Chain A
């Protein structure tokens, strides 16, 4: 058995997949592991992340399985699950062995590993969907829009294409407080990621003069739009889980 030991990054995992094919391993006797947990009778290979190899793998996955499935693989790799690398690796092996066409990579859901990767991609996809809805920007003194989120999976990079397409002429940033990742979009230019320190709280920036007024207006609107006769907090919790609410304007209590 061969175990590729990786770091939790796209670069590292894709390099491992490249190596597994380059070294012509038996794929059913090979696994990719993100932890340092020892495996009995296994040969450990420590993977050195390599940008060139990553790009090659990404390009071929994209070419063979199409945009949608390629994105799903990336999403599965953005989850916080420890078995993600193995699931994605096996899915790729299954896809290549069965010569699956674009859009059909995840067809074989009866296969456990494919199903695992599919479930991870779906989970992360849902969180991206939620955050696309629930991200709230506040305007800072200098006109920059700023948003704090604490996602369970590493999804900031997936949110940025949507928001930069939507607000092309705004300076805005989204801060992943849990991982210390800042996604920054300068007006009219390409967005980028900035890695800061982990576990930091909301940024202590001052808000602009009219920010408070718009927040109040929106809170009032949310209050007024509800129909009292249909009140249904359980449905509300189903649709908008509590964990998102601490960063959402309409649920913040006034100090």
Chain B
């Protein structure tokens, strides 16, 4: 590795280790949202769906080269590994190192692009300028045309954020904690206002740029992949209802592409943070993501899923099942007639299957077997649907009964080996009937004991 070492500094390997380790708690790192063909000369293109190139041992995708430019930081946020009062090894990449790593990894199809964040070095504007220079170098000198995602540093000069926006595909500013009080206690150097101001600036920039692109086809794109943010879940006492409401208003008022939720991992051991003996709140994070999808693709509202009286998600049922069970007056839904919006609200029916149902029922009357082919998860959906006016099995439309069947594994209706059969149990299914008759049985039968 000697040849990769730069001058008297620490070897590249060590730097990469430190700065990847510092960046790993940032979750806003998909490579989606931009569809850009290669230009035939420079290296790189982008695919709208995003491409995950690998999966680490925690099951999260490795899509972008996720690193910090530096993990030196002047801030002292209580939850952060890189807080200035934490004694960890510090390192800083030079812009050329970041570019070389990105380009060489990209050529080998290891990564989809670069995710660059940074600790605050000197002051926000200085840090933002470092990021801008690095990305400029990557785009102009190394001619990299792949996906680039950078963090906008709250409090940095707006002009720098604007210029960086023209070079990157996605920008994000972390909201960190859902409420202003939480932010005040755990991140004393960050303020709600300083986070939302650049977020608004980027939103306005994207809108203005869209109008420009209509007029001038070759105008440069500003943050084509939209902006994202992340919230830490479980470090402060906010409930799910608050978090979901914040997410909803971010989608509506700030036009965010994604809100990410990061289950809190206590890495600093600060006394103001919860201890979490059972590990990070992964189930809670999962439920929030499920609800997030319901908000974005299924036409749900936050107020439908939760309210002030029940501010947390059901642990046993997913948010859609939970909603359906509480609104049994709207079920069962007739598959062959219901409009798309209603199909989307059935547990076990996703966006794809709902669209396929709508397409397929034009040519045929759908049965339960067809639904299975289409990809509907019948074990969840069967309580809520009818095909041609019939339910799959005689099912009671009762809250208790459905919840019991949706949750307890033993109670669930068992599917036959072919996946579709459900035989009525008969008297002869009782276990003892299958066994051969023994001598004792005969004697007992003859003696009238049996």
- Chain A interface (Cβ within 8 Å of chain B)? 98, 104, 107-111, 115, 132-139, 145, 147, 162-163, 165-170, 210, 213-214, 216-218, 220-222, 224-236, 238-240, 248-250
Contact = CB atoms under 8 A, between A and B. Distances in A.
Contacts of B60: 226-227, 230
Given A110-B370, A111-B364, A224-B16, 11 more contacts: A109-B360, A110-B366, A110-B373, A137-B109, A139-B107, A165-B45, A166-B45, A214-B108, A224-B21, A239-B52, A249-B108
A109 B374 contact: yes
B215 interface: no
Given A133-B51, A145-B107, A221 B280 contact: no
Nearest to B358: A107
Given A136-B109, A222-B54, A226-B24, A232 B59 contact: yes
19 contacts: A133-B52, A139-B107, A139-B108, A147-B109, A165-B37, A165-B45, A166-B38, A168-B38, A170-B107, A210-B4, A221-B16, A226-B60, A230-B263, A231-B58, A232-B57, A232-B58, A236-B56, A240-B54, A249-B108
A110 B56 contact: no
Interface residues of B, number: 60
Given A216-B13, A226-B24, A231-B58, A134 B53 contact: yes
B3 interface: yes
B439 interface: no
Contacts of A228: 58
Interface string B48-92: 000111111111111001100000000000000000000000000
A227 B45 CA distance: 29
Give the 4 A-B CB pairs with smallest separation, nearest first: A235-B59, A226-B56, A110-B364, A230-B58
A218 B110 contact: yes
Contacts of A167: 43, 107
Given A210-B3, A238-B59, A225 B20 contact: yes
A110 B44 contact: no
A249 B263 CA distance: 30
A99 B105 CA distance: 48
A43 B66 CA distance: 62
B281 to A, nearest CB: 11
A166 B43 contact: yes
A231 B58 CA distance: 4
B359 A225 contact: no
B17 interface: yes
A224 B107 contact: no
B256 to A, nearest CB: 24
Nearest to A248: B54
A225 B56 contact: yes
Given A110-B363, A225-B24, A226-B56, A218 B105 contact: yes
A230 B282 contact: yes
B108 A225 contact: no
B356 A226 contact: no
A162 B47 CA distance: 9
Contacts of A145: 107-108
Nearest to B280: A229
Contacts of A240: 54-55
Contact of B1 (A147, A213, A230, A233): A213
Interface of B: 1, 3-4, 12-13, 16-17, 20-21, 23-25, 37-38, 40-45, 47, 51-62, 65-66, 101, 104-105, 107-110, 146, 263, 265, 279-280, 282, 356, 359-360, 362-367, 370, 373-374
B1 to A, nearest CB: 6
Nearest to A103: B359
A122 to B, nearest CB: 9
Contacts of A232: 57-59
Contact of B17 (A133, A170, A224, A234): A224
A218 B23 CA distance: 15
Contact of B57 (A110, A214, A231): A231
A138 B356 CA distance: 41
A210 B282 CA distance: 40
B13 A220 contact: yes
Nearest to B105: A218
A231 B24 CA distance: 13
A45 B146 CA distance: 51
A228 B56 CA distance: 10
A137 B331 CA distance: 53
A220 B17 contact: yes
A112 B287 CA distance: 36
Contacts of A136: 108-110
Q: Report which residue of A98, A135, A214, A221 has the largest number of chain B beta carbons within 10 angstroms of its beta carbon.
A: A221
B124 to A, nearest CB: 26
A250 B62 CA distance: 11
Contacts of A248: 54
A80 to B, nearest CB: 21
B46 to A, nearest CB: 9
A226 B54 CA distance: 11
Given A107-B359, A169-B43, A240-B55, A230 B373 contact: no
Given A110-B363, A230-B60, A249-B110, A166 B44 contact: yes
Q: Report which residue of B42, B58, B62, B101 has the largest number of chain A beta carbons within 10 angstroms of its beta carbon.
A: B58
Nearest to A131: B109
Contacts of B52: 133, 239
A233 B57 contact: yes
Nearest to A221: B20
Contacts of B1: 213, 216
A154 B4 CA distance: 39
A227 B61 CA distance: 12
Contacts of A220: 13, 16-17
Given A107-B359, A220-B13, A239-B52, A214 B43 contact: no
